[in-house]
Chain A
Amino acid sequence: MGIEGIGARVVRKEDRRFITGKGRYTDDIVLKDTTYAAFVRSPHAHARILSIDTTAAKAAPGVIDVLTGADLAGDRIGGLICGWMIHSKDGSPMKAGAHPAIAHEIVRHVGDQVAVVIAETKAQARDAAELVEIDYEVLTAVVDPAKAQDADAPQIHPEAAGNLIYDWHIGDAAATDAALAAAARTIKLDIVNNRLVPNPIEPRVAIGSYDEAEEHFTLYNTSQNPHVARLVLSAFVGIAPEHKLRVVAPDVGGGFGSKIFIYPEETVCLWASKKIGGRPVKWTSDRTEAFLTDCHGRDHVTRAEMAFDADNRITGFKVHTIANLGAYMSTFSSSVPTYLYATLLSGQYAIPAIYAEVEAVYTNTVPVDAYRGAGRPEATYLIERMMETAARELGVDPADLRRKNFVKSFPHQTPVIMCYDAGDYEATLDKALAAIDYAGLPARKAASLAKGKRRGLGFSCYIEACGIAPSQAVGSLGAGVGLWESAEVRVNPVGTIEVLTGSHSHGQGHETTFAQLVNDRLGIGVNNVQIVHGDTDKVQFGMGTYGSRSGAVGMSAIVKALDKVEAKAKKIAAHLMEASEADIVIEGGEVKVAGTDKTMAFAHVALAAYTGHNLPAGMEPGLKESAFYDPTNFTFPSGTYICEVEVDPDTGVVEIERFVAVDDFGNVINPMIVEGQVHGGLAQGIGQALLEGVTYDMESGQLLTGSFMDYTMPRADDLPSFEVSTTVTVCPGNPLGMKGCGEAGAIGSPPAVINAITDAIGVRDIAMPATPSKVWAALHGAA
């Protein structure tokens, strides 16, 4: 309500410091007596370390120490963990290999850290790193997930025979096979979901600082979830007990998932700080290291088959996916191609039988973990490419085929765990069809053809699951943590408010939207609200930001805490104004007795709470409440995206002429920020479809797309002016009726783009990214 309440386009409070260069990022922090770390990284994708000679490096100017995996093992520092247990079909637990923070004996991908040099300056550390002499016995490498289990593939971890980490499944195999056998038509599709490099604009940074007198560690890092980092570094890596380790993640310049994970460099900086006597150790990734060490995303190879009856209703869907998890299992890697992927394989459709098998494999590549969308983009790409292909091969309109198969009543239990709570898929489809002028498509195609171009249109009706997640449910599925969120609302004696949240903002605008929520309840203005996050010493334990959860889960926790604050404020006000508590209302910064002219400022109530001079009998002074919110279900944002492209057959260049995105995010706090999230997601999704893709040399395992000279990040002029709008079905699962909007753009857009291109040039499939050379080759192959 109001100009700064829920639903208002409040300008982002945090942008003043960001756009004036006053943001305070981890690399901006320079502690007294800081030393600098440079990592010696493997030039080989797979090799045995025969010897490491640090003599020359240790003697180099400014060098304080040179440490190796043997030193780490000698100090009994634990390896990194994967925090989500997946069991194979046969009930056996996943086969996780060791993940030391510095490689010991074997290196498993190009960029694997082998030693670290600590020096007085960054330049001295780098210079000395080149003097570390390492003898390698180069081993055969495998980078293609489809070849990881071949008989001649190298064994990457002794724990995972044949490089198979798990062979997992979900759904009903017999029912799905029966549906396929009885089908009037079946459509088969082989799909590759290309590997991506997240590339947030701020590379990762870690500063480890050890206080010898207090036996206390501090880690400053670029984290989306500092409390989880502290938990892992304490309980599993064994740096220090939690009360002796503070983790601070200040301003963070984008994460997209890649900064959820606990990385080796953080362990090394903490450990090394103690090792060298307590001077802080700082490491700042350069862009090359980011390409070689930030967890990548996607990388699925899938074969799928969908069954239709004679009326074109889907009767079954069978999926087999090989997921590349890279050289080591990153923090949440195991969950991405399983519970975050296969549970969404019903899409927006009523499908009676689904069966999916997922084989996760090790390869000699950078570890793969969650990246904007995490599993849901892979599911959406598969389903929506399948639906478009099916429509073409069944000879029906792709919008009609989708409409016929939409889930139309809620709640809807899918065969793959998820229970959709609310949605109106026809509403988003109809709105998108109207926006794109679907009826005018044939005329537009003819106009393009007349000027030598080919026009095409593609749909994507996506659904995703956000607001991760009910703790008991994810616990039963193997999660090592609960996925609730916490909040503390601290009212100051003058009536201003600090909200301490376990969510972490790294671009999402929490400082604005969370303040809007508080203002909506109390009417004190967003500038009287400060959002505090990202410091384990300040904020109670929290789970962090990923999976579009900060609204649906994080803000729900704030709602609960606000409920308690309001209840106490009403008690105090009723006492002071000699009214019944039931008659007290809070609005516009005033606490009023309904139906009378009695009122007092909210700040006055706050002051009364803190003076304690006149409180109801037995009431504690103060006005500060905390809450933990555990969701009751996932939330299910959905939408229809329509992409219209024009292809230049001479060059293969694809121009996106129109991109219509109609999303149902439930209730929206700040439409401007939501649109920004959608724009950014679309840029990344279109990037995946047209521009971005990792290429490894298949023999050597070298990363060929290791810089922006070869890895095509989307630029503003690659993108059209987006036409975004929303429909609303309120989410029944949380107090604000919100669903989450952070990933939808990246989830929904790739299939819309590829469906449009394949429509334009008349081919069944084209691999992402659909670069000009690939489109040109496809056109000429098809001609």
Chain B
Amino acid sequence: MYETSYHRPTSLSEAEALMGADVDAKFLAGGQTLLPTMKQRLAAPSALIDLRHLPELKGISVEGDTLVIGAATPHAAVQTSAEVKRTIPAIAKLAGLTGDPHVRHLGTIGGSVANNDPAADYPSAVLGLGATIHTNRRTIAAEDYFQGMFTTALEDGEIIVKIAFPIPLAANYEKFRHPASRYAMAGAFVAKTTGGVRVAVTGAAQGGVFRATAFEDALGADFRPEALDGLSVDADDMLSDIHGDSAYRANLVKVMVKRSVAGLL
């Protein structure tokens, strides 16, 4: 790791001011991606501005038909939250499948969504439920937020404050883990909502998280795994590497969506 400075602001405005004063600083929201990257000397921010202690970013609450999770909430807190388990247990399940206990106690939902790793779990829940991202500047719909692998609508200095998830009728998440890293090779978040079935897939595609609209249509008409027989996602859009080619990943997407659906029957 290169030498760097560490800041621990106690308010959103202090964090904004620190970032405004140092263009080479980076926000730290758990550091489960950033810190290993820095240890490998692949990133060299001049300073780290830790967001995990901002009161504005904390807390889990149910507001009407919406579950609101503060951006600085660690995965373990989501996994064990009574509110989450009561309203959208699929999110608690997803959080419990992320990383290992160490990662789950340090990594945060805001950090995961801001980084938008194509193999991260949370983006599938955000897109699969049509959540809203609340930042220090505005609100962003999930559809507009994810813009491809490691790319989001966030502007420089913009901080995710909380994420509001509409509570669905039912939802489920099934994940196929990468054998080595245990990130998602294919993670399928399936939600039954009053507006129809939504299917969001992470881990598999070159463009990061995406909605499998053909699957959504089929499941909207017939919510059974068999409804997907004969359908497929385009293998050309999938990732291909030494752990699995695009045809394998396309297969995994379908299998994970089917299993996610089966879990809701």
Contact = CB atoms under 8 A, between A and B. Distances in A.
Interface of A: 123, 126-127, 130, 288, 650-652, 691, 695, 704-705, 708-713, 771-773, 776-777
A712 B177 CA distance: 12
A555 to B, nearest CB: 39
B180 interface: yes
Contacts of B176: 651
Contacts of A772: 179, 244, 248
Given A650-B255, A776-B248, A776-B251, A710 B242 contact: yes
Contacts, number: 46
A777 B248 contact: yes
A651 B3 contact: no
A384 B248 CA distance: 30
Contacts of B255: 650-651
A712 B245 CA distance: 17
Contacts of A773: 243-245, 248
A691 B181 CA distance: 12
- A-side binding surface: helix, strand, loop or mixed? loop
Contacts of B252: 651
Top 6 nearest A-B pairs by Cβ distance?
A773-B244, A712-B180, A773-B248, A709-B181, A712-B179, A650-B255
B2 A127 contact: yes
B138 interface: no
A566 to B, nearest CB: 53
Counting chain B CB atoms within 10 Å of each CB, the highest count among A126, A712, A771, A772 belongs to A772
B41 interface: yes
B213 interface: no
Nearest to A711: B180
Interface of B: 1-3, 40-41, 176, 179-181, 242-245, 247-248, 251-252, 255
B237 to A, nearest CB: 17
Given A288-B40, A651-B251, A691-B179, 4 more contacts: A130-B41, A771-B243, A773-B244, A773-B248
A710 B243 contact: yes
Given A288-B40, A776-B251, A709 B180 contact: yes
Contacts of A652: 248
A691 B180 CA distance: 8
Nearest to B180: A712
A607 B245 CA distance: 73
18 contacts: A123-B1, A123-B3, A130-B41, A651-B176, A651-B251, A651-B255, A691-B179, A704-B242, A705-B180, A708-B181, A710-B180, A713-B180, A771-B179, A772-B244, A772-B248, A773-B248, A777-B247, A777-B248
A652 B252 CA distance: 10
Counting chain A CB atoms within 10 Å of each CB, the highest count among B1, B40, B248 belongs to B248
Nearest to B183: A709
Contact of A126 (B41, B244, B245): B41
Counting chain B CB atoms within 10 Å of each CB, the highest count among A126, A691, A713, A771 belongs to A771
Counting chain B CB atoms within 10 Å of each CB, the highest count among A126, A705, A709, A711 belongs to A709
Nearest to A773: B244
Counting chain B CB atoms within 10 Å of each CB, the highest count among A651, A705, A712 belongs to A651
Nearest to B40: A288
B263 to A, nearest CB: 15
A773 B177 CA distance: 12
A708 B100 CA distance: 14
